[in-house]
Amino acid sequence: MSIVNNLSLKERYEEVVRRTPKLRIKEYADMLGISELELLASNLHDPCVKLKESPIEIYKELPKLGRVMVLARNENAVHERKGTFGKVQIHGSTGLVLGEDIDLRIIFDNWKYVYNVEKEHNGKTLRSIQFFNKYGKPTQKVYLTDDSNEEEYQKLIDTFKLENNSIPTVENGEKPKVYNDPENIDFDKALNDWSNLEDTHNFQNILDSQKIKRLDLVKRAPENLAYRVYNDAVIDILHTAAERKVPIMVFVANDDIVQIHSGEVKNIRLIENWTNVLDENFNLHLRNDLIAETYVLFKPTNDGVVTSLELYDMDGELAITFFGKRKPGIPELPEWQAIIGELEKAK
């Protein structure tokens, strides 16, 4: 939906803020029936400056900023990781950042808009560079920390800022998800391919080869490949990993990026409908009430079996994935396998 009357939007925005103060910008945008980008670009919620529509070129500059906090989210989870960028590797429309702190897989196909946002929060100025796709949804937000290079940050803003700060006309909808009807899928072949995996990354190839919805395949898997567990399993594995100091990997993805945390988790907090990890370098916020089904998956590889916990939302889409910390060529941690093995199967 495009905004054609900013005054009308201003009045509507002020009314929803009056009725429900202190919400996130996404929540206000949802209430107004517009994209988060459109609300941001209106300058009603946070002051912002439009940058050139050159997301890849801007992204390549991020390692110069030093220590930052990167935020990626989907409808179910928010993933925040502090650290420094390694080299941004670009291959066509895909990007890769490999590092102990910041670990990303990026699909730039639909990235389009970039904004500089500076807002006052608890007496401090929060500075960020925020990326959005052509549908007006945030792909990733990069926040400065006390240890960031502010000189390089200012240089980046000055290089890419636009004088025209008009509200862009975003495309309606979102990236379409195309799946084959189950009756047109050879699930026996897909499950056989799963049983003979040599690399976990090839699991997606199995799904893509027949346009299979991930959960449709998982539900048909025998117990040696997957089984369902109770939805609070995520709370148990986080607490147990923290108590036993077992390093884990946490994957949160949207249509445009996969953001990964690797390491120990320490401070687990349950607040209303949210499961939270509140650590110095890693924060996770997961909406428990939006999780519909949870599964344990086993994927054979050349390094042995790789075990994951996968949470699916009300639409049957993958919300978040947990692994034991590992690298290619190294077997999975037996301590992680023990944590998963203690989970009870769903009845």
Instruction: For the chain, give the percent of residues with pLDDT over 70.
Output: 98
Does the residue 327 lie in any domain?
yes
The pLDDT score that the predictor gives to residue 164 is 83
Q: Is residue 130 part of a domain?
A: yes
Once rounded to an integer, what is the mean pLDDT over residues 228-256? 98
| Predicted local distance difference test score (pLDDT) of residue 1 | 41
pLDDT, average across residues 243-250: 98
3-state secondary structure of 196: coil
**Within-domain flag for 169:** no
CATH number at residue 264: 3.40.1570.10
Same domain, 156 and 193: no
Would you call 284 helix, strand, or coil by DSSP? strand
pTM of the predicted model, to two decimals? 0.94
Pairing verdict, β 138-148 and 124-133:
antiparallel
pLDDT band (50, 70, 90) for residue 115 = very high
| pLDDT on residue 7 | 61
pLDDT at 248 over 60: yes
Residues 224, 254: one domain? yes
Residue 94 within a domain: no
Q: What is the tens place of the pLDDT at every residue in 135-176? A: 999 999 999 999 999 999 999 999 999 988 888 999 988 889
Furthest-apart CA atoms within the chain: distance in Å: 61
pLDDT of residue 327: 86
Q: Is the pLDDT of residue 2 over 50?
A: no
82 and 193 assigned to the same domain: no
Q: How many domains does the chain have?
A: 2
Specify the pLDDT at position 329.
87
Amino acid present at 114: V
The answer on 145 and 278 residing in a single domain is no
283-337 tens-digit pLDDT: 999 999 999 999 999 999 999 999 999 999 999 999 999 999 998 888 999 999 9
Q: How many CA atoms lie within 13 A of 51 on its CB side?
A: 25
150 and 186 fall within a common domain: no
Could you tell me if 305 and 220 lie in one domain?
A: yes
43 vs 200: CA distance, rounded Å: 44
Alpha-carbon distance of 341 to 344, in angstroms, equals: 8
Residues 194 and 299 in one domain: yes
The bridge status of strand 291-299 relative to strand 306-313 is: antiparallel
Q: Report d(CA 223, CA 199) in Å as an integer.
A: 20
- 293 is in which domain, residue-wise? 182-341
Q: Residues 160, 51: contact at Cβ < 8 Å?
A: yes
Reference 131, options 56, 30, 46, 66; nearest CA is 56
Residue 4 has a pLDDT of 43
pLDDT for 199-223, tens place per residue? 999 999 999 999 999 999 999 999 9
Please determine, for residue 3, whether its predicted confidence score (pLDDT) is greater than 50.
Answer: no
326, exposed or middle or buried, with CB in 10 Å at 0-12, 13-18, 19+? Answer: buried
% of the chain beyond a pLDDT of 90: 90
What is the predicted pLDDT for the residue at 165?
A: 80
Q: Where are the alpha helices (DSSP H) in 20-129?
A: 25-32, 36-41, 55-60
The closest alpha carbon to 309, from 265, 339, 267, belongs to: 339
Asked if 252 and 74 count as a contact pair (C-beta separation under 8 A), the reply is: yes
The confidence score (pLDDT) of residue 6 equals 54
Token pair of 102, please?
């910041």
The CB-side HSE value for 296 (13 A sphere, CA atoms) comes to 25
Coil, strand or helix: which one is 173?
Answer: coil
pLDDT digits (tens, 9 = 90+) for 96-114: 999 889 999 999 999 999 9
Are residues 224 and 128 part of one domain? no
How many Å apart are CA 195 and CA 206, to the nearest integer? 11
Based on the fold, state whether residues 216 and 118 are members of the same structural domain: no
Closest CA to 62 of 11, 101, 29: 101
Q: Which two tokens stand for residue 309?
A: 């916990």
Give residue 120's pLDDT.
Answer: 84
In a domain, 213, yes or no: yes
pLDDT the model gives residue 151: 97
Q: What is the mean pLDDT of residues 233-243?
A: 98
Q: Which helix (H) or strand (E) holds 248?
A: strand 248-253
| Residue 134 sits in the same domain as residue 257 | no
Reduce the DSSP state of residue 322 to 3 states and report it: strand
Identify the pLDDT of residue 244: 98
pLDDT above 90: residue 268? yes
Q: Residue 12: how many CA atoms within 13 Å on its side-chain side?
A: 15
Q: What is the mean pLDDT of the chain?
A: 95
Reduced to 3 states (helix: H, G, I; strand: E, B; else coil), residue 44 is coil
